[in-house]
Amino acid sequence: MDLELPEELRLLGQTVRRFVTRELDPIADQVERENRIPESVLRSMRDLGLYGLVIPKEHGGLGLSALGMCVVMEELSRANLCFRIMITTNNGIGSLGLVYAGSPELQRRHLPELASGEKIGCFALTEPEAGSDAASLRTTATRDGGEYVIHGAKIWITNADIADYFTVMATVDRSLGSRGLTAFWVERDTPGLTVGRSEPKMGLHGTRVAEVLLDGCRVPASARLGEEGDGFKLAMRVLDHGRLSIAASSVGAAQRLLEAMVEHARTRVQFGRPIAENQAIAWMLADSATEIEAARGLVLAAAWKKDRGERATRHCSMAKLYCSEMAGRVADRAVQVFGGMGYMSGNIAERYYRDLRVYRLYEGTSEIQRLVISRDLLEG
C-alpha cells in the first residue's frame, strides 16, 4: 500500500483546501446561525464539480476513486460539517443506489442533473420502528401490473426538504425479512409523497432532516433499483461508501480542531505562561495528533481496498468506528483546552463538539459497526 497520495489527488486536495479557506470558512458560523447554506455558496460548490464527485464521468460527474472522495471529504470538513453533508447526501447516499443498480435509462435521465447539482437526491431508509435493525422496516411496495404502490413513513431524512429524488427502501414481502427489501427511485412530485416539517436537532445547523410520508405512491416498475429483494445488499453497499466518507470527514474535522487547539494553547496565558507549557495541555495535543494520524491510516487502508475492488465492508466499518470516536475525543479535548470559551456559542470547539456527535449515530451506530466488524471476523 502506497502511503503517498498520487499527484493529481494531492493537487485536488489543495484546490479544495483553498476553496474551503476562501469561501466556506468565513461563513461557517453564519451557516450555523441561519441554518442554511447561502445559495451563492451552493453555486460555487456546484461550479467546482463537488456535487458530482463520485458520479461516473460518462454521466457528467468526476468519477473519483474512493481515495479521491476521502481526500475531498477531509478537506470539506474543515469549516463546517454541513458543507460535506450537503455534498455527500446528494452524490453519495442520495445517488449511489442509482449508480449501482439503476436501469441505464434511469441513470441517463437523472445522474447528469444530480452531478451538476441542479437536482438533489436523498436516501430514505430509517423508520420510526426500524433504525439499527433496518431489515425490519415496514414500508411496503406492492406490485400492481406495471407499477408498485408504496405505503409507509420514513424519519430523519437528511435533505428531504430540498430533495428532488428519494431512494426509498421498502419491502415487497415482510415475511422474507432482509431478503424482501427492495429499493425504488421516487420523484418528489409523485402523488402521495409528502415531506414533513424539519425536525430541530442538536447540531449540523445548516442541513435539515424531515419525515417523508408515502401514502399510496405509484411508481413504474422501471423505478426499481435492482431486482426485488436486492435492497438490503444495495443499502449496505451504499452505506459502505457513506461510512468511509464519515471517517474521512472525522479526520478533517479533528485536524482542524487540533490546529485551533495548538494556536490557543500557544497564545492563552495563565499563571504568567502559555497554557501549552503545562504538560496536562500538551499531552492533549499529543494524543490528538497521534490519534488523527492513526485514523487517517485507517481511512487510507479502507479506500485502498475499495479501489482495488476488494470487499471492504469490515474496513469501512473499522474506519467509521475509530475515526468518529476519535473525533469525538478530540472535540472534547478542544473544549477543555479552550476552557469556558469552548463552551460558548460561536466557538469552533463548541460547534464541532455538537456537530460531530451524530457521526457515532447515523449510517450505523458505533455498536452496529462493532457488530459488522465482529461478524465479519467470526464468519471469516
Q: How many CB atoms lie within 10 A of CB 50?
A: 23
Q: Which three cell numbers stand for residue 282?
A: 500538551
Q: Which of 105, 363, 367, 379 is catalytic?
A: 363
CB 147 within 8 A of CB 154: no
CB 331 within 8 A of CB 206: no
Complex with ligand FAD: residue 95 or 288, whichever CB lies closer: 95
Complex with ligand FAD: residue 160 or 319, whichever CB lies closer: 160
Complex with ligand FAD: residue 74 or 355, whichever CB lies closer: 355
Residues near ligand FAD, by CB under 6 A: 122-126, 131-132, 156-158, 201, 204, 209, 358, 361-363, 365, 367-368, 371
Which residues are CB-neighbours of 42 under 8 A, at least 6 positions away? 86, 117
Q: Which three cell numbers stand for residue 264?
A: 490557543
Q: How far is the CB of 308 from ligand FAD (least distance, A)?
A: 28
Complex with ligand FAD: residue 341 or 361, whichever CB lies closer: 361
Q: How far is the CB of 362 from ligand FAD (least distance, A)?
A: 4
Complex with ligand FAD: residue 158 or 347, whichever CB lies closer: 158
* 363 included as an active-site residue: yes
Determine how β-strand 121-124 pairs with β-strand 165-171.
parallel
Residue nearest to ligand FAD (CB): 131
Q: How far is the CB of 161 from ligand FAD (least distance, A)?
A: 11
Reported for 174-179, long-range contacts at CB under 8 A and 24+ positions apart, including other chains, are 174/138, 174/140, 176/229, 177/135, 177/136, 178/135, 178/232, 179/229, 179/232
Partners of 186 in the β-ladder: 166
Determine the length of the chain: 380
Alpha-carbon distances of 288 from 256, 275, 328, 355, rounded to whole Å: 11, 16, 11, 18
Q: Which three cell numbers stand for residue 274?
A: 502559555
Q: How far is the CB of 153 from ligand FAD (least distance, A)?
A: 12
Q: How far is the CB of 210 from ligand FAD (least distance, A)?
A: 10
Catalytically annotated residues = 363
